[in-house]
Amino acid sequence: MPAAPTPPAPAEALAQAAARHGTPAYVYDLTRVRARIRQLARALPPGVEVRYSVKANPAPAVCAVIASAGLGAEVSSAGELTAALDAGFPPARIMVSGPYKDPGLRQLISELPELLISVDSVSELAQLATQQGATRRVLLRLRPDYPPAGDMCEGAQPRFGIPIEHLGRCQAFLGRSADCVGYHVYGGSQILDKAQAARQLRDAVDLTMRAAKLLDADPRILNVGGGFGVPYTDDDDLDLAPAAAALRAIGARTPNAQLVLELGRYLVADAGWYLTRVVHHQTFGDGPAVVVDGGIHHRPDLCGLDIARSARPPLLLGPARGGATPTAVLGCLCLPWDVLAYAADLPALSIGDVLAFPTAGAYGLTAAPTRFLSHRLPAELVLDDGILTLLPAPQWPAQRSQPAGVS
């Protein structure tokens, strides 16, 4: 299936956002989020459930659009769980994952028995088995024992999940406070190769089938990850046809299991723009540069994709100008590596010009070291059907008080 064409950049709306609310700022185009969800619905086999990884972008309006489309959610903290519930995700469609559930998150879990819990280790399963209350639906997260696909933020050596050789230790704790309803595997991230996208789904299911045989526990739910990538360069969008074919084959192989995909960046990255303003001229190496009022404290490269060197250049908002010269875009921090673009093809820039960095909707503000140098937070806005709305500053729930030493 050919990729859907990327909607044109909303340049006029981005310029209005900068004029009304200043820079730096993030703008999330909800039309693009909806378009990506429709693209997935057309491509994937019926019955495959998609859960949104809230860590990619927990902005309330973004989460609400995804929830209203009928997707589920994957969360890893009390703040993310609260954001998902506030956005309208039903508790029964929320999975809680991660290697550690802190006391605040565990308290919320105890109040919402419908949640699905991904258990990351035998130790965590043992802890869960000692807790009182309703029996919890759990997925055992399995550690991939096959080559990773795409760009793995943690490197080639996986650290999450239960190694298959340790699964036998789980038997002693299942059936007490934990009802194992299936398995969770995440084998790759930022996958842009269509063959790799299909392969990692097949590899995940092969691993779960081995686990099911060892535990004599057929799965009712199979979360096979996802990790579909988005191009930060001018490369083509990921062709979903091979992954869809793999999912159809997996569905035929596991007819009694609900198949789940876990996607974050794929749903929201292309919907975001990071706006920053030129404040000074400078030089960098042998070429021209500008200093802007933003930086990596707002727009990080959390997953090590080298976006400052390889990503598409920012869009210059305003009237078109001819000519282009490789120009460095330097951030405002007193850090030598605070560089947003090393050699972006840009026309001659003037102080006051606004640059809009594309593909900024995932792992942006909430993934950044925003407290460094104590700069103010950038504004966050959503664009929906031509209307710009300023979002309130994020308000995370306070950590529930615990006695000293409790974890």
Q: Over 70: is that where the pLDDT of 396 sits?
A: no
Name the percent of the chain lying above pLDDT 90: 82
Contact 316, 353 (CB under 8 A): yes
Contact 58, 86 (CB under 8 A): no
Contact 170, 123 (CB under 8 A): no
Q: Over 80: is that where the pLDDT of 17 sits?
A: yes
pLDDT reported for residue 320: 85
pTM, full prediction: 0.93
Q: Over 90: is that where the pLDDT of 401 sits?
A: no
Q: What is the dihedral of CA 368, 96, 259, 363, to 10 degrees?
A: 0
Please give the C-alpha separations between residue 245 and each of 43, 123, 209, 312, in angstroms, as whole numbers: 10, 37, 19, 31
pLDDT reported for residue 152: 56
Cis peptide before 231 (omega within 30 of 0): no
CA distance 269 to 27: 11
* Region 234-245 average pLDDT: 93
Q: What is the mean pLDDT of the chain?
A: 92
**183 phi, psi to nearest 5 deg:** -140, 155
pLDDT reported for residue 175: 81
pLDDT reported for residue 135: 85
pLDDT reported for residue 142: 97
State whether residue 162 is helix, strand or coil.
strand
* Region 379-389 average pLDDT: 95
Specify the residue for token string 């999330």: 28
pLDDT reported for residue 188: 87
pLDDT reported for residue 150: 78
CA distance 176 to 130: 8
CA distance 81 to 79: 5
pLDDT single digits (tens) 250-304: 999 999 999 999 999 999 999 999 999 999 999 999 999 999 999 999 999 988 8
Question: For the ranges 41-50, 63-72, 144-153, 314-323, which has the lowest average pLDDT?
Answer: 144-153
Contact 282, 290 (CB under 8 A): yes
pLDDT single digits (tens) 340-354: 999 999 999 999 999
Q: Whose CA is closest to 233, among 90, 359, 384? A: 359
What is the DSSP code string of 63-120? HHHHHHTT-EEEE-SHHHHHHHHHHT--GGGEEE-SS---HHHHHHHHH-TT-EEEE-
CA distance 145 to 148: 9
pLDDT reported for residue 389: 96
pLDDT reported for residue 398: 43
β-strands 178-184, 221-226: how paired?
A: parallel
8-state DSSP, 308? H
Q: Whose CA is closest to 44, among 281, 224, 271? A: 224
pLDDT single digits (tens) 135-162: 899 999 999 999 888 775 555 678 899 9
Estimate to the nearest angstrom the gap between the alpha carbon of 286 and the chain centroid. Answer: 37
pLDDT reported for residue 155: 55
pLDDT single digits (tens) 156-212: 678 899 999 999 999 999 887 889 999 999 988 999 999 999 999 999 999 999 999
Classify residue 21 by burial, with Cβ atoms within 10 Å: 0-12, 13-18, 19+.
middle
Which residues, including other chains, have CB under 8 Å from residue 336's CB and lie 6 or more apart?
A: none
